[in-house]
Structure 1
């Protein structure tokens, strides 16, 4: 572990994630704070950034709080945060119990449970798709008939587009309902799906990452999302443009702030997904943590705003001070195999074929794995690339060129 300055505040991080996806967040955090991590496995790449770590399961609020209190007795903790959706509730609970900044357990749960989100937003009049929680296929049919096709079927409490499917016709609802009900959640053999039937709203989808300090919502990054064609809604990439006009769109910003107020989200970090429709922005969901898929990294490369550092600041009770120091465009694209049941032998990028705008490439599949095309699940990605360009058109062209440079089982 790195040598540390004991004058730096100590923050507690619940789990980290893969190096490719999370090191860019941990590195700047360690420049301003001492970081102690709770993790279920021995850390590896994280060690150079950590002041300390505790190998402990953090699946329940109680075990996480007990470990945090033990640490706090030895070295006072200034803040608690996580980038992991599966640890959002635990992080909020520990912060609340210890009197540290955070959204609170009630608000965190309202973000985790999409039905609770819908109920709160509806009560406040925040624009969103119509949504009905159902318990059976019969109830799903009735809800879909009431809302009108096409509809979206989705689990109420999962992430990463797991089990989310668009259904265009009544005769296809049973299959879509089964997709949601039968979704497999890693490490959750006891998971039982509570599905929602939602109105399909058409437009283009964006995400907005924010830092919230004492009720003040600061937008850090806006990304435009790409997804697979219907019926599934798996995210394939994102683009962040420092000159995006949405950054100053008064209607969008008001909807974002109204959603946070409706959820009583006063301290912490959020990743809000929004469909930009002909009728204006409509909230798809509000997550109580930073965005994944390298979205905050894209924001850093495009604008210079360090979303990860701002997120740590609010967790430690400090007002965020984001600084825009560049005007670029950055994008990420993820790749899958072309056919189901593909045995991975080798995956790599042809360096000579990569465009000059290439920023970073990474391989996610290992030899010997079986991979599939994206079908309503997040898993299965085999590789990814990020690029940095001067314009959106140049960014899109560079992503296309990088995709052409990917080699699978050559």
Structure 2
């Protein structure tokens, strides 16, 4: 029998997702479903199909069934937030793991809150509102500060902290408009969540779920900047993080998946470690972004991409970790001012610390980039990754990398 046949719905941005194709192509025959013919992806592929519109579930199901007739398909994977529901419909049509209803409960943050609340999973108090006056009234009931967030986005787009009623009125339009940044995603008439602000550091847990068994694979500590926005400026992943032994955290992750009825697939669960214990912020039904799983792999932790492929094919993943594990961290860097037209991005390699093991641009000459709030995530112009004995060593190396980064603007 040959390698399992895996459908991957769109590869994502090369800088952030190539490592996943590289990983799964070693053990699976990868067939890519895309809207444009592949370029850099071809070396990892067994084949590909170009479709007119990834939002057209009917077309995707027809493509999946046609492929399966010629060469049986073992699993369907998608790590792009925009298309995870469509990919789940493809899997369901082929009788493969992937529950569209469970994916939609994660995709819609209001439905996530309702499901967690019904099962008494610790989370911030949350209320769905339609506009400014209602948002202010709810915020006063919850108590300041509050967090405003769009109902159907991810990656901290449109999420902002408001310390008083004036700030709520000032930011509610920003959050509402952010909810329409991705036209492919659902737009709801009541599109804004007003939530209790959860104190404490934020972490994420990437898990594989096989037939209801939740298998945590990666814990990352998130670095956030550009307050009052929640821009993810970096991540630190320690495969030996003491949080692995935190019983309350492990229980919260387990209960979250049970509440959502999430039985098969991969998740990226974001949690605040508050003074009153862990509180679930949101659940993304996909592999974590920001190169978090790559950091885990680099430090000797589990291969999240390989686990995602396994559970998509109905198999329990074989989790392998290196005997010697190290801490890996990433930092993202931003342009000096709004509407910076990039002329050059370069690190002074001679001055880079030895702990920096990978770095590169995230923008090309001629592109215009802005730091937050105008450029949320898409304002990043460069990144660097450090590998070291502990988080402090990695952060010091990333600080130095930032100092020797030259961003020339036209």
Using the size of structure 2 for normalisation, the TM-score is 0.96
Asked if residue 258 in structure 1 is aligned to residue 255 in structure 2, the reply is yes
What is the rounded CA distance, in whole Å, between the counterparts of 2:286 and 2:39 in structure 1? 23
Q: Which runs of 4+ in 1 moved over 2 A?
A: 186-193
Conserved in 2, the CA contact under 8 Å of 1:61 and 1:89? no
Give the stretch that moved more between structures: 173-182 or 126-135.
173-182
Asked if residue 202 in structure 1 is aligned to residue 199 in structure 2, the reply is yes
**In the superposition, relative to structure 1, how do residues 175 and 88 fare at CA in structure 2: closer, same or farther (>3 Å)?**
same
Shift of 1:189: 10
What is the rounded CA distance, in whole Å, between the counterparts of 2:118 and 2:184 in structure 1? 32
1:409 match: secondary structure: strand
Residue 156 (structure 2) aligns with: 161
2:325 to 316, 324, 327: 327
What is the rounded CA distance, in whole Å, between the counterparts of 2:35 and 2:192 in structure 1? 30
2:373 to 355, 370, 375: 375
Task: Summarize the alignment of residues 194-343 of structure 1 with structure 2, pairs less than 5 Å apart.
Answer: 194-325=191-322, 326-343=324-341
Task: Summarize the alignment of residues 63-78 of structure 1 with structure 2, pairs less than 5 Å apart.
Answer: 63-78=59-74
**In the superposition, relative to structure 1, how do residues 34 and 163 fare at CA in structure 2: closer, same or farther (>3 Å)?**
same
Asked if residue 121 in structure 1 is aligned to residue 116 in structure 2, the reply is yes
Residue 405 (structure 1) aligns with: 404
Residue 83 (structure 1) aligns with: 79
What is the rounded CA distance, in whole Å, between the counterparts of 1:159 and 1:240 in structure 2? 21
What is the rounded CA distance, in whole Å, between the counterparts of 2:194 and 2:317 in structure 1? 37
1:58 to 51, 54, 58: 54
Task: Summarize the alignment of residues 23-62 of structure 1 with structure 2, pairs less than 5 Å apart.
Answer: 23-56=18-51, 57-62=53-58
Task: Summarize the alignment of residues 343-362 of structure 1 with structure 2, pairs less than 5 Å apart.
Answer: 343-362=341-360
Shift of 1:190: 8.8
Using the size of structure 1 for normalisation, the TM-score is 0.96
What is the rounded CA distance, in whole Å, between the counterparts of 1:156 and 1:240 in structure 2? 28
2:102 to 107, 122, 132: 107
- How many residue pairs are counted as aligned between the two chains? 404
1:407 match: secondary structure: strand
Asked if residue 386 in structure 1 is aligned to residue 385 in structure 2, the reply is yes
Q: Which runs of 5+ in 2 are unaligned?
A: none
* RMSD between superposed Cα atoms in Å: 1.5
Shift of 1:334: 0.6
Conserved in 2, the CA contact under 8 Å of 1:181 and 1:192? no
Residue 185 (structure 1) aligns with: 181
Deviations 1:318-359 (A, max 9, x none): 111111113200001111112112221111111111110111
